[in-house]
Structure 1
Amino acid sequence: MIQTVIFDMDGVIVDTEPVHRYAYFHHFNELNVDVTDEMFSTFTGNSTRNVFQKLKAIFNLEHEVEDLIQRKRNIFNDAFDTKADLHLLEGVEDLIKDLHQNGIQLIVASSASKVTIDRVFKRFHLHQYFSDIVSGEDFPKSKPHPAIFEHAVSLSMAPKNQCIVIEDSSNGIEASVAAGIFCIGYNSEHSKLQDLSKANLIINHFNELSAEKVKNLK
């Protein structure tokens, strides 16, 4: 029986991807680097640090990675605070509440920074439902490397075979598979360029899940 659900955040709980995309491309313009949509799609699920490490190598940027990260985060934070139409993804809040009320442990494992996760969780009052928050900034390698999910499982009250991951990106699903955790792929309108085929189960809406269904998965 499933006892722990590990959520990705961006694209699963809240769609901050358009804000991230705005911040990244605003910064790319400042840096005068030409990042294509195809290249950008390969960064989904990567931490900001890993993205800029890759871009620094690709474009031979002279800037320090930490400076690049900070500038992008400043642009993101300004946009986040002024974006009035930022909402939780449809159905996810009901699912989170249902899982929590039925004694299922919830953990978030996101490539986002702790500051960004906290910003989202405070805005939507989510701290009360989640036992642990795991940020990708604490790991040298981003998804598809399994480290973030392996750590999330170590925080679970249940063994790995009683945990599942909900992800919306190719990199996130590969990380879950590499960690040996049952993975639900969320096929949202924002994951069109993502390959969800390696997920154990694919859903198109969160109303396809409930605490009862989740507990009996596998």
Structure 2
Amino acid sequence: AEFYFAYGANVDVATLERRMGDEAQAVSAHASVLRGYELRFDVPGLPYSEPAFASVAECAGASAHGVVYGLSEGGWERVLATETGYTPIEVECVLSSGEIVTARTLSYPDDARIEGALPSERYLGLLRAGARHHKLSEEWQTYLAALPTYEQGQSPQAVAGALVTAALALPVGVTAALSASAASAAAGADAGAQAAAASRAVGGAVWSVHDRILRPVFGDGGGARAA
């Protein structure tokens, strides 16, 4: 089995099983800690609905809690296919038994992260449910419970912002993705790297439109971003 450290939505068992599909499965699961990294919500999502997703970043003295899954053949490939834009890294995790294992996980390039956006209640709920299921530390569960989430406004202005964002996301995203993929291909990147570059370009382009055009009209779509 290949070891994979999950800290975001894949901590939730149902989410991981759905993403694995019929092609692979988790054959083991262990509560674990990744030392020297912190959990962040700075992966760009969709303004006004799912502003930010989770990542980890190196941070001295910090720890990120999650689950080390043992994946069957093809499992890691399914993770990569469903978590586009991230960069695979190899880390050492401490299991609840005290054993240290080498696992793969995903981080996000620093130059593609966003600041000040919040995760949705739906998304953070997956992390909280997974933490309960896998019996992660009480301290970590308390930490997750206290995190703020993005609340989608129901005012006409907020609803309009969400609708306009959804309408613009496809054309803006496709244009950015094609451009980034072409540049990546010209640089000799493989198909996986091209897909990752395209995914990051989509997120960056959508948030650029939000910051320059949508936010002044419809208000902030991230929950905590400075004007």
TM-score clears 0.5 = no
Q: Which has the larger Rg?
A: 2
Pick 1 or 2: higher relative contact order, CA cutoff 8 A, min separation 6: 1
TM-score by length of 1: 0.30
